[in-house]
């Protein structure tokens, strides 16, 4: 195959890894380019969004991840790009101003460190041959050595490694080859330690991703892990990828669960993203997240609404005197609305939510939890 044909296949296969960006709003979703390759939005440091070229270096893989359509036993068309091919294609895209950065991952080619050497080679060519100083996101391969990970972090703007599940018990249902502690936890801790303790790595963004629903984990375990990832590891983002029926081995828990209602998994992913937003932007703590008797988030209502409905003693909130944290607990009020309230009441008293430009069903919802008097 020529380079473009290989890139078409590998770019298509890279859609299963969302750890660069795939959130819950319209600006955070991946889209297909006119040439069939997947393009991914990322948030820029100064605000706004731009586009990454995302591809695998190879879809050949020696691992047995039972949720993955590219696992070693799968019958798919395998191919591999040389580091020079990836670098040249990316620079051509860059010159045409189609992209601003690169997200590069790969199946495991033989062993983790050989794969990391080829991934890092792409970044090294871009940095030192093409003098590219822009955004490069490199995937850390599970089981990679400390030296290989440190080499990636010298070259990359961002690095990520999928945590996959919250804990060894859930993880062992998805792989017989990988070791959760050594192949997943150790590298994640190293990435955190380097960014927190070594000055040259302090600006490298670290992210991770859960494969939601492939194993048998409840949401409560995922969210408990999220607090550790944000609190102890200081990672910038946690992403979620809903396991999709038919992609993995027929015996994994996710396949059996999805027989009843396959659409629920995408709503579950959405609820996890909403919870993640509450944690990162609204200051919600672990005890603020409400679960059902099975440890899962409600699929019927968003997690902020659930908290409000289970804490009637907290309401009504006084629009004209409540602090920012209290206002953010009002269903219907978001960050932008709360900022408008805080700004408006410096100059005047607010008599109606309609004075803030909030109308219709949203205004009616706010009135159930907040008063202007």
Q: Look at residue 36 in the predicted model and tell me its pLDDT.
A: 45
Q: For 111-131, write each residue's pLDDT tens digit.
A: 999 999 999 999 999 999 999
CATH architecture of the domain 3-304 equals Alpha-Beta Barrel (3.20)
What SS3 string covers the chain?
CCHHHHHHHHHHHHHHCCCCCCCCCHHHCCEECCCCCEEEEEECCCCCEEEEEEEECECCCCCCCCCCCCCCCCCCCCCECCHHHHHHHHHHHHHCCCCCEEEEECCCCCCHHHHHHHHHHHHHHHHHHCCCCCEEEEECCCCCCHHHHHHHHHHCCEEECCCECCCHHHHCCCCCCCCHHHHHHHHHHHHHHHHHHCHHHCCCEEEEEEEECCCCCCHHHHHHHHHHHHHCCCCCEEEEEECCCCCCCCCCHHHHHCCCCCCHHHHHHHHHHHHHHHHHHCCCCHHHCCCCCCCCCCCCCCHHHHHHHCCHHHCCEECCCCCHHHHCCCCCCCHHHHHHHHHHCCCCCCCCHHHHCCCHHHHHHHHCCEECC
Q: Is the model's pLDDT at 237 over the cut of 60? A: yes
Return the percentage of the chain with pLDDT > 70, whole number: 88
Higher pLDDT, 80 or 15: 80
Per-domain residue ranges for the chain? 3-304, 311-371
Question: Class assignment of domain 311-371?
Answer: mainly alpha
Q: Look at residue 23 in the predicted model and tell me its pLDDT.
A: 41
Q: What band does 302 get if pLDDT is binned at 50, 70 and 90? A: very high
Q: For 250-270, write each residue's pLDDT tens digit.
A: 889 888 776 566 678 889 999
Q: Look at residue 358 in the predicted model and tell me its pLDDT.
A: 85
Q: Look at residue 58 in the predicted model and tell me its pLDDT.
A: 92
Q: Is the model's pLDDT at 156 over the cut of 90? A: yes
Q: Look at residue 262 in the predicted model and tell me its pLDDT.
A: 65
In the predicted model, what is the mean pLDDT of residues 236-251?
87
Q: Look at residue 319 in the predicted model and tell me its pLDDT.
A: 94
In the predicted model, what is the mean pLDDT of residues 175-203?
97
Q: What band does 245 get if pLDDT is binned at 50, 70 and 90? A: confident
Higher pLDDT, 306 or 16: 306
Q: What band does 222 get if pLDDT is binned at 50, 70 and 90? A: very high
Q: Look at residue 62 in the predicted model and tell me its pLDDT.
A: 92
Range picked from 9-23, 74-88, 282-296 for highest mean pLDDT: 282-296
Q: For 24-52, write each residue's pLDDT tens digit.
A: 444 444 444 444 444 555 544 444 555 77
Mean pLDDT of the chain: 88
Q: Is the model's pLDDT at 7 over the cut of 80? A: no
Q: Look at residue 76 in the predicted model and tell me its pLDDT.
A: 81
């Amino acid at each position: 195959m020529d380079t473009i044909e290989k890139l078409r296949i590998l770019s298509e296969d890279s859609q299963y890894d969302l750890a660069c960006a795939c959130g819950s709003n319209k600006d955070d979703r991946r889209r297909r380019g006119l040439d069939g390759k997947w393009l991914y939005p990322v948030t820029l440091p100064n605000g706004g969004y731009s586009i990454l070229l995302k591809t695998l270096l190879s879809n050949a893989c020696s691992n047995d991840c039972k949720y993955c359509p590219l696992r070693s036993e799968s019958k798919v068309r395998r191919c591999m790009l040389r580091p020079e091919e990836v670098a040249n294609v990316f620079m051509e895209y860059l010159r045409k101003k189609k992209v601003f950065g690169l997200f590069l991952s790969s199946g495991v080619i033989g062993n983790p460190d050989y794969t990391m050497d080829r991934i890092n080679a792409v970044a090294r060519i871009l940095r030192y041959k093409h003098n590219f100083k822009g955004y490069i996101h490199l995937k850390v391969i599970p089981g990679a050595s400390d030296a290989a990970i440190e080499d990636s972090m010298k070259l990359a703007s961002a690095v990520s490694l999928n945590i996959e599940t919250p804990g060894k018990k859930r993880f062992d249902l998805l792989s017989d080859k990988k070791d959760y502690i050594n192949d997943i936890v150790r590298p994640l801790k190293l990435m955190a330690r380097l960014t927190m303790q070594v000055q040259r790595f302090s600006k490298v963004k670290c992210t991770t991703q859960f494969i939601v629903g492939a194993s048998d984990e409840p949401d409560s375990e995922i969210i408990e892990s999220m607090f550790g990832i944000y609190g102890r590891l200081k990672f910038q983002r946690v992403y979620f990828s809903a396991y999709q029926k038919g992609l993995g081995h027929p015996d994994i828990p996710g396949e059996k669960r999805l027989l009843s209602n396959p659409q629920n998994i995408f709503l579950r992913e959405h609820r996890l993203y909403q919870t993640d937003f509450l944690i990162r932007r609204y200051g919600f703590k672990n005890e603020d997240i409400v679960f059902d008797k099975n440890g899962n988030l409600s699929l019927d209502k968003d997690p902020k609404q659930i908290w409000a409905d289970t804490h009637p003693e907290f309401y009504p909130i006084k629009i004209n005197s409540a602090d920012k944290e209290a206002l953010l607990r009002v269903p219907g009020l978001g960050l932008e609305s709360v900022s408008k309230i805080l700004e408006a009441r410096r100059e005047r008293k607010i008599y109606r939510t309609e004075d803030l430009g909030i109308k219709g069903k949203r205004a009616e919802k706010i009135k159930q939890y907040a008063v202007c008097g």
